[in-house]
A and B are shown apart, each in its own frame.
Chain A
């Protein structure tokens, strides 16, 4: 199912964390990459970290390719956009969309992507070739988020499954992210919170 996750690139101390992570979130308009960004954003804000998160609104949201640049740091961040070869992580809800942002990934950066193809164009490439292209990059995690989301209890938790798979590469302790999930879904009731926490942790378990 998933390529085995390697060692986490960051170490955490309980009190003050030193970190600086640049993430490109990608997918297809309507897939909901922004709720992933919202969880990480809450986690960063709760813990007094600096954050910048640029989003795509407007025309592309109608089934086009969409991305969000998410930057979290213990020190002030200038640019809202990540420079070329500046991303530590590409977190993608669609495998071809993960590849679109490769020029932005550091040599030793990670690709964490859903393996489920979203086919809404006539010339969508061969699925296996996409997977092979992703595998050319040493640091990758391919994951069938839909199968795991169903296992967690709802297809709608696919985003949280993917976020869970990326936990080792965010530069943030897992507890921060869990709190972010709780905050984001709090208004929807305890059941929804628990469902999403289950999805977040399903890759680990």
Chain B
């Protein structure tokens, strides 16, 4: 029976059917729906949200240690947070299979950058899978857990926004049982003391030939021959679809369809030898384009994002690929002038709005002050009518940037961070500030959820005052408010007082997210 699933959901179902025991994740577009699906349908599977991507990754390694299969899901920038654990677990290797799902967001639909997670796979020297459609997403998750176990290493599954959030029908396979508890058979596998780490790393290096062999024999890497050798095309992941969209009757040029990395060397050499020029289609950075340039020394022309055949920035689509192939395109059509931009905005009645209105009113009294903000709905405070913030860098940076700026002489130095972002990566920075009694004012705008990604549980709900006090913020400078219009004057007063206090203050305007409230009322 066929079921209609987002690629994110297909990955979840594939992993569930592939004998999964646990998913660990922190919400992040476009990866969130993977874990949400398992929370909905997975029985007896661990699926509660982790506090951040690093804790998620490490929890998965623990699950692997006892022989069970786990999946870790995050958006591309989450890989940066989890990178310490990720790089080192490639060295330890796995006992139970681990699938690391990295969901990239080229074109930055909902992100600060468009980094390409395949580099992390290459950096860690592990195999990477990249599906072109929803069925492959299912199959790769299903098989990826077993592949990881077979190779004794974590395997990465890389997707991009367009696939993550696109539905199609998939066919399920025979569900496998979960693994039984089983300790590692390799002696001291997970102890990365230098002497042992050297052994484990040597083993990882020695395994590279095996991973190439695995790619060479992978059903996801296909050499599709054709008569016209003027051009050879390497099509990675979803870009294969954009290519074929332009050739519904079949592509006239040979194609090397890539779904598993490292690249299969024999197939790449065959394409380079047989074709006069090469076009590389890949979402994200020109990773394969650069690599393939290294494969050839005879001046073969390699086209792609580096030589301007394709856009260097942003995702691909059927039209951009058509242009790269020299086919007819319709780029001359334009949107009527009457159509205006409609950027996202904070919901009407949202507590962040009341918080920003009070903060803006107070900051008018301090023309030299700056407000450092963070990642979440409240980042929309950058846009009119608020224009309330001066920065948005990465998860947690509002507190640490405010500290650095205060160290440099800024006053007032204010931080605005959400509750979920605070527990994700803000707490450690707050400890830095407490230890030096830095003169900063931290506003934790608490809507008791992870709102931007759709209202997932927030790790710190009900614990924020205790966390701040535990880190050493003086209790009299932890101020809780209810962000409502009627409390405008009180909010202004409290913000002013805490700015004037020479030390670390935390203000917590707390009111539940309207979206989660609406959902609760419906139930």
- Which A residues contact B (CB, under 8 angstroms)? 28-29, 41-42, 45, 48, 50-65, 69, 77-86, 96-97, 99-100, 102-103, 120-125, 129-130, 133
- Given contacts A57-B454, A83-B317, whether A130 and B338 have CB atoms under 8 Å apart is yes
Contact indicator A99/B344 (Cβ below 8 Å): no
Contact residues in A for B336 (Cβ distance below 8 Å) = 99, 102, 133
Of all chain B residues, the one with the shortest Cβ separation from A126 is B338
Q: Could you show 5 A-B contacts with beta carbons less than 8 Å apart?
A: A45-B4, A58-B29, A60-B344, A62-B344, A103-B334
Smallest Cβ-Cβ distance to A105: which chain B residue: B333
Q: Which residue of A lies closest to B333 (CB)?
A: A103
Tell me, in angstroms, the Cα distance from A183 to B29 when the chains sit together: 29
Closest chain A residue, CB of each to CB of B109: A58
How many of chain B's residues touch chain A, expressed as a range? 35 or more
- Apart from the given pairs A78-B242, A79-B241, 11 other A-B contacts in the complex at a CB distance below 8 Å: A50-B169, A51-B168, A52-B168, A53-B166, A54-B162, A54-B166, A57-B165, A62-B452, A78-B243, A83-B318, A84-B333
Q: Say yes or no: B318 contacts A45, CB within 8 Å.
A: no
Query: Cβ of A53: which chain B residues have Cβ within 8 Å of it?
Result: 4, 166-168
Q: Is B462's beta carbon under 8 Å from chain A?
A: no
Asked if B195 is at the interface of the complex by the 8 Å CB criterion, the answer is: no
- Indicate if the CB atoms of B329 and A51 lie closer than 8 Å: no
Whether A29 contacts B333 in the complex (CB less than 8 A), given A51-B4, A51-B168, A59-B452, comes out as no
Q: Which residue of B lies closest to A65 (CB)?
A: B342
Give, as a whole number of angstroms, the nearest-CB distance from A105 to chain B: 9
Cβ of B244 within 8 Å of any chain A Cβ, yes or no, is yes
Contact check, B166 vs A96: say whether CB atoms are below 8 A apart: no
Q: Does B390 contact A (CB under 8 A)?
A: no
- B109 pairs with A60, CB closer than 8 A: yes
CB of A78 within 8 A of CB of B319, answer: no
Q: Please, which residue of chain B has its CB at the minimum distance from the CB of A118?
A: B342
* Complex Cα spacing A86 to B339, Å: 20
Q: In B349-377, which residues have CB < 8 Å from any A CB?
A: 377
**Which one, B165, B169, B334, contacts A54 given CB within 8 A?**
B165
B-chain residues with CB within 8 Å of residue A64 when the two chains form the complex: 342-345
Looking at the assembled complex, report how far the CB atom of B330 sits from the nearest CB atom of chain A, in whole angstroms. Answer: 4
CB-CB under 8 A for A84 and B338, given A29-B344, A54-B165, A62-B346:
no
Is there a chain A Cβ closer than 8 Å to B110's Cβ? Answer: yes
CA distance A99 to B319 in the complex (A): 20
Nearest B residue to A120, CB-CB: B345
In chain B, positions 149-172 with a C-beta closer than 8 Å to chain A are: 162-163, 165-169
Task: Type the 1/0 row for B234-265, where 1 means its CB is closer than 8 Å to any CB of A.
Answer: 00001011111100100000000000000000
Shortest C-beta distance, A51 to chain B (Å), equals 6
Output the least CB separation between A59 and chain B (Å).
Answer: 4
Contact between B167 and A79, CB atoms less than 8 A apart: no
In the bound complex, residues from chain A placing their C-beta under 8 Å from that of B377 are 62
Given A45-B4, A58-B29, A81-B317: A121 and B245 interface contact (C-beta under 8 Å): no
A130 CB contacts on chain B under 8 angstroms: 338
Q: Which residues of B contact A100 (CB under 8 A)?
A: 335, 339
| Docked complex Cα distance between A63 and B345 (Å) | 6
> B73 near A: Cβ within 8 Å?
no
- Say whether A78 contacts B245, CB under 8 Å: yes
Decide if B347 is an interface residue (CB 8 Å cutoff): yes
Per-residue interface assignment for chain B, residues 163 to 190, with 1 indicating a CB less than 8 Å from any chain A CB and 0 otherwise: 1011111000000000000000000000
Given contacts A41-B4, A96-B340, contact A63 B319 (CB under 8 A): no
- The CA of A120 and the CA of B346, in the complex, are separated in Å by 11
- Which are the 9 A-B pairs with shortest beta-carbon distances? A58-B110, A58-B29, A64-B344, A84-B330, A79-B245, A54-B166, A103-B333, A80-B166, A62-B344
Give the residue name and chain of the B residue nearest to A63 (CB). Answer: B345
In the complex, chain B residues whose CB is within 8 Å of the CB of A77: 168
Chain B residues closer than 8 Å to A69, beta-carbon distance: 166
Nearest Cβ distance between residue A114 and chain B, in whole angstroms? 15
B33 within 8 A of A: yes
- Judged by a CB distance under 8 angstroms, whether B193 is at the interface is no
Nearest A residue to B379, CB-CB: A59
Give the residues in chain A near B166, CB-CB below 8 Å. Answer: 52-55, 69, 80
Instruction: Select from chain A the residue with minimum beta-carbon distance to B350.
Output: A62
- Contact residue among B33, B335, B384 (Cβ-Cβ distance under 8 Å from A103): B335
Residues of B within 8 A of A121 (CB): 340-343
Instruction: Say whether A80 contacts B241, CB under 8 Å.
Output: yes
